[in-house]
Amino acid sequence: MTQIILNNGVKMPIVGLGTFKIKGSELVKSSLESAVAAGYRAIDTAGVYKNEVDIGRTIKDILPRHGLTRSDIFITSKLGPKDHGKEKCRAACMKSIADLQCEYLDLYLIHWPGGQGLQPSDIKHKLLRQGSWQAMEDLYDEGKIRALGVSNYLQRHLEELLEYSRVRPVVLQVEYHPHLVQHQLVEFCKKNKITFQAYSSLGTSDPENKLLKDEVVKRIATSLCKTSAQILLRWAVQQNIGVIPKSTNNKHLQENIDIFSFSLSDDDMRSLTSLNQSQHYCWNPECVL
């Protein structure tokens, strides 16, 4: 598994398992069991996913059976919008640690730049996320979090964060795929040594998934005898961008991590990048002050 070295020296697998909408003890258990057996060593969750207790219980159960320990698994969780602010943030993070039974988190992200229940233009968003970051910095100092980052931040949100942060963010996790190629944001992160991590690399679970069914993606997949999902994931990791594809299907879990045995040509990379439509299939944080 390729590792990305974050700007504070912590190593993060470039491919992880996303767990959004993976809920229920049996589904969590079967999915994580298959993922760990396939070679996944990073798990991405969040307080709002409502699955941390089941993930924590499952990890504790399966690691010894695979000859692994806690330090072999990179665990990410996120602060939900309802828990923004210094006091709430600390309590939410400690709850995630307790639910996950992991003593510390490898990475903790602010999930959304805005606080719950506020109008998008409310100035309180800025104050809340600053308070949240300060709480995260304290937890970092205490060794409860090994690395700090954010999700769904725009460049202006990052610029604001860099003005007051004592501990610099190491990761930005956002929607990113050939239909949403955020060149300027990627370059800003490179310049500031912030690792770019993509979510929704395969689009959505909609049966009419326009990304997986894109004719250019399908053509490249056919030419390389790979799946469309493998092409989309390879496109990202070939740019040194992390991915966290979600699946509960054992075959797909294995395919999604099998993206290091081939490369895309320069022409293939350009063809995929040229598909950009600035199309969000998930959430667009543009409106959040």
The answer on pLDDT for 233 being more than 90 is yes
Q: Which domains does the chain have, with CATH numbers?
A: 3-287 (3.20.20.100)
- Other beta carbons within 10 angstroms of residue 115's beta carbon come to 23
Residue 111 annotated in ligand binding: yes
Active site residue 40: no
As a whole number, mean pLDDT of residues 128-147 equals 98
The sheet with strand 242-243 has its strands ordered as: 17-18, 42-44, 74-79, 107-110, 148-151, 171-175, 195-199, 242-243
200 phi, psi to nearest 5 deg: 55, 40
pLDDT given for residue 208 in this prediction = 80
Copy the structure tokens of residue 29. 């258990």
Cα separation, 245 vs 35, whole angstroms: 11
Q: Which tens digit of pLDDT belongs to each residue from 44-65?
A: 999 999 999 999 999 999 999 9
Q: Which helix (H) or strand (E) holds 229?
A: helix 228-237
Sequence-separated (6 or more) residues with CB below 8 Å from residue 156: none
Predicted confidence band of residue 205 (pLDDT cuts 50, 70, 90): confident
The percentage of the chain sitting over the pLDDT mark of 90, rounded to a whole number, equals 97
pTM value > 0.85: yes
What number of residues does the chain have?
289
Q: Is there a contact between 109 and 272 (Cβ–Cβ < 8 Å)? A: no
Percent of the chain with pLDDT over 70: 100
**Which of these is catalytic: 40, 49, 153, 176?**
49
Using CA atoms, how far apart are residues 55 and 19, in angstroms rounded to an integer? Answer: 9
